[in-house]
C-alpha cells in the first residue's frame, strides 16, 4: 500500500475528491492511503513521518519554490494536482497520474 499525503485546504470538495481517488485506486488495483491535511499541519506531519508521495493542491503551487519547504520533501516525489483535475473532482485522473509518477520515480 502506498501512503500519500495530500496537502490542501480541507473542504467538502476535497473529501469528495479523495473518496473518488480511493475508489479509483481499487479499480486500478493500486492500494493507497491518503492522509489529507491543511498546509501547516501537512508540513508538520511531513517533518515527522515519511510518505511515498506528496500531493499538493493547485493553490499550493508556490510551495515548489519555497526552499524551506522543499527541504522537507527532497526525497519524496511531489504531484501538483492539475487545477482542471482538482476542479472536476476527477479521482481517477489523480490515481492514474500518481501511478505514472511513482513508476518514474523508482
Per the structure, the complete domain to which residue 50 belongs is given by: 2-105
Number of domains in the chain: 1
Distance CA 63, CA 55 (A): 11
First to last CA, the chain: 15
Residue pair 7/56 in contact (Cβ under 8 Å)? The answer is yes
CATH code: domain of residue 50: 3.40.50.2300
Residue 70: pLDDT over 90:
no
Q: Against a cut of 0.85, is the pTM above it? A: yes
Q: Per-residue pLDDT tens for 10-47?
A: 888 899 999 999 999 999 999 999 999 999 999 899 88
Distance CA 56, CA 79 (A): 6
Give the per-residue pLDDT at 62: 86
Ordered alpha helix ranges (H), the chain: 12-27, 39-48, 67-72, 83-87, 91-105
Amino acid at each position: 500500500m502506498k501512503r500519500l499525503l495530500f496537502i490542501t485546504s480541507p473542504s467538502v470538495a476535497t473529501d469528495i475528491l479523495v473518496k473518488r481517488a480511493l475508489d479509483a485506486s481499487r479499480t486500478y488495483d493500486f492500494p493507497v492511503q491518503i492522509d489529507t491535511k491543511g498546509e501547516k499541519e501537512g508540513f508538520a506531519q511531513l517533518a515527522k513521518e515519511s510518505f511515498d508521495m506528496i500531493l499538493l493542491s493547485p493553490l499550493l503551487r508556490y510551495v515548489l519554490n519555497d526552499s524551506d519547504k522543499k527541504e522537507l520533501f527532497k526525497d519524496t516525489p511531489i504531484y501538483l494536482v492539475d487545477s482542471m483535475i482538482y476542479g472536476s473532482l476527477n479521482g481517477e485522473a489523480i490515481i492514474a497520474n500518481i501511478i505514472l509518477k511513482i513508476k518514474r520515480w523508482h
